[in-house]
Amino acid sequence: MAQAIVLFVVGLILICIGGDRLVDAAVAIARKLGIPQIVVGATIVSLGTTLPEILVSTTAAFDGSAAIAAGNAFGSIICNTALIAGLTQTIRPVRKVESGSIAWRSAFFLAVLIAMNIYGYMTGAFNRPAGIVLLLLFAVYAYLNIRRAGAEGGDEEEPEQDVSLPRQLLILAVCAALLYVGANLLVDNGIFIAQAIGVPERVIAVTFIALGTSLPELVTSIMSLVKGYGNVGLGNVIGANILNLLLVIGIPSAVAGILLERSTVTVDMPLALLVMAVLLVPILIRKKASRVQGVLLLGIYTAYCVASFV
């Protein structure tokens, strides 16, 4: 148990270091290329911070742990939105949202999640054909990001002319690796500690694993907030949630198929839709976030965790 706790702390340190430098590198790349911060947050940063979820769900699918594979994905969406976005918007709401960049991503996410809710309720599983469709949708999402990057324009700040693009890309890759290793240490040892005190598999998935694999998003979002890059954090949450649907569910579904527990279909998936609606709809209408949203999301997450354990 002592060794597990030490490794857990080491993982947390790696995530903190990686998240801090990841934000700086991502913003430097955005300024160098004239790309909006929210675009970088929703693509490069979110892909790096979602790697732990992809690994955990794919490994769980191969091991036959469907509850972990599905619970990790939807638990991470709930955690990313209700805890991470809720916390950052409570501390410092984004007052000027890059609405053009966020609108189509929000519509894309909500449409895919609604379709998955219906499909999951009707079939009780995400089989191989469903997984292949999700991977094809990821290709569409990647194409739309590339196609719309130029049309969405750059940030208002002047580009940093002295930034070395290869160096920043290398830093980005190293930081993503630190997040990956750190999250795995957290998850593996967190599961060991949780199992030692008798916590059920699904509860571990939607709380301990989801929180552990979402720590890169949490640290990245907080660092974005501290450094004044609120749109990076918001874009990271939205992008990470999209990747949770398309890759974290898509890859294991296409490989082995995922059977869904009833609680995943009736609680986790609808709640993921609810919290994203609470976050996105007011922002799309008002073009800014509010502290009320943050407090409401934190309240929902607290109630969800209490209900999961009870």
| pLDDT tens by residue, 173-200 | 888 788 778 767 766 776 677 677 776 6
CATH of the domain at 44: 1.20.1420.30
CB 13 within 8 A of CB 182: yes
The tally of CA atoms less than 13 A away on the side-chain side of residue 211 is 15
Strands of the chain, DSSP E? 125-126, 258-259
Closest CA to 16 of 223, 233, 184: 223
User: 168 to each of 29, 39, 48, 236, 309, how far by Cα in Å?
Assistant: 7, 17, 14, 18, 42
- pLDDT for res 147: 77
Give burial (CB, 10 Å; 0-12/13-18/19+) of 182: buried
- pLDDT for res 177: 82
In the predicted model, residues of the chain with pLDDT beneath 50 are: 154-159
Give burial (CB, 10 Å; 0-12/13-18/19+) of 196: exposed
d(CA 148, CA 144): 6
Let me know if residue 7 belongs to a domain: no
- pLDDT for res 155: 47
The range of the structural domain enclosing residue 60 comes to: 38-154+201-309
- List, in sequence order, the alpha helices (H) in 124-149: 128-149
Tokens 């270091």 found at: 17
CB 39 within 8 A of CB 229: no
- pLDDT for res 291: 87
Q: Which amino acid is at 236?
A: N
Let me know if residue 300 belongs to a domain: yes
Closest CA to 183 of 54, 1, 24: 54
CB 149 within 8 A of CB 39: yes
- pLDDT for res 65: 65
d(CA 42, CA 63): 30
d(CA 59, CA 62): 5
- Predicted model pTM: 0.75
User: Which residues share a beta bridge with 132?
Assistant: none
- pLDDT for res 232: 67
Let me know if residue 71 belongs to a domain: yes
User: Which residues share a beta bridge with 258?
Assistant: 126
**Does the CA dihedral 251-255-257-261 come out positive or negative?**
negative
Task: Report the number of distinct structural domains present in the chain.
Answer: 1
Let me know if residue 229 belongs to a domain: yes
User: Which residues share a beta bridge with 126?
Assistant: 258
- pLDDT for res 202: 61
Closest CA to 171 of 50, 55, 48: 48
Let me know if residue 256 belongs to a domain: yes
- pLDDT for res 158: 46
Closest CA to 239 of 19, 27, 46, 86: 46
Let me know if residue 133 belongs to a domain: yes
Let me know if residue 294 belongs to a domain: yes
Q: How far is CA 218 from the centre of its chain?
A: 9
